[in-house]
Amino acid sequence: MPTKPRILATHQFPPAVMDRLLKDYDVITNETNEHLSADVILERSKNVDGIMCSPGNAFDQALIDALPASVKIIATFSVGYDHLDLAAAAKRGIVLGNTPDVLTAATADIALLCLLGAARKAHTSATILREGKWSRWTANQFLGVHVSGKRLGILGMGRIGQAVARRAKGFDMEIHYHNRRPVSEPGLEEAIFHESLDDLLPNCDFLSINCGLSDETQHLINDATIEKLPDGAVLVNTARGAIVDDIALIKALKSGKIAAAGLDVFENEPTLNPEYLDLDNLFVLPHIGSATFETRDAMGFKCLDNLDAFFAGNPIPSPITL
Ligand code: 8YV
């Protein structure tokens, strides 16, 4: 029997994914599921043929340069790949794969949860209830921002942005978006394209961030861009925390320039800026965009499909390219 390729799994993945991984590969597992530092990854990568990782592990240039020559593929358990240095991997001839499509629906669902949660004060009202502090119904309590009929601006009209738009149409929202190019997808014919972010921002009663993180998008939402939003806009981020300058957002939430924010991601995860905790106009979640049983299994199987194709000598189904 030919020897199985050796894979370093930086995390414990869902049980069905681990079963398939362990059946088909010789796996170095992370039994305790603790965060692996770059040094530990290097130490465990000796004689490894491939690595299965997640955005928790930054494969920057230093780490990729130091990987043993045996490592030929890195399959990330994510659609986002800002944690991987593409140029460094290309220079080493390391193939990179990700998991697009399968998490589109789950992430778009969470974007709507964040949008509604922020607009309708879900966090504050539920907390007061749970703390036993809700004494009676009154007409002026827990009033939020009306959603139906409002303008939703989407920054990044890729798969997830489009899925957010489709869902928001169910709430009778008017869709505006900024993207590299206009999209012509069924059901989105009426969505209004804006060539620049500056054009989009004044049209956003709600702004949903759905673009990837790159040098161009880091802190794209900052003091200056927030200023261009209508007063009392609602901000939703389910993409990557670093696209928003947290200091600027906190300032805008305090002043009321931004009425409320719904975040599934934030800078420096998992450490939430403590100033956020004093704000009752924040609805925040711990990066659960793709966290359904079905989605996480499908993401794992996509990673394995990438590995299987690679070790069979075929092009991988979901390559990440420069
Ligand atoms: C994942 C994500 O849950 O896929 C991505 O890029 O941000 C999330 O949906 C997370 O990365 C864990 O792998």
Domains of the chain: 6-102+293-311 (3.40.50.720), 104-284 (3.40.50.720)
Whether the per-residue pLDDT at 1 is higher than 70: the answer is no
- Write the residue with the smallest CA distance to atom 4 of ligand 1: 78
Q: 50 has which bridge partners?
A: 7, 73
Instruction: Give the Cα-Cα-Cα angle 250, 254, 258 (nearest 5 degrees).
Output: 80
For the chain, the average pLDDT equals: 97
**pLDDT tens digits, one per residue of 53-71:** 999 999 999 999 999 999 9
- Check residue 322 and give its pLDDT: 87
What pTM does this model have? 0.96
Residue 316, SS3 per DSSP: coil
> How large is the average pLDDT for residues 140-165?
98
Mean pLDDT of 223-237: 98
Please work out whether the CB of residue 79 comes within 6 Å of at least one atom of ligand 1: yes
Ligand 1 pocket residue status of 54, Cβ below 6 Å = yes
pLDDT of residue 26: 98
| Closest Cα to atom 11 of ligand 1 | 78
Collect all residues with Cβ–Cβ distance below 8 Å to 179 and sequence separation of at least 6. 156, 157, 158, 161, 193
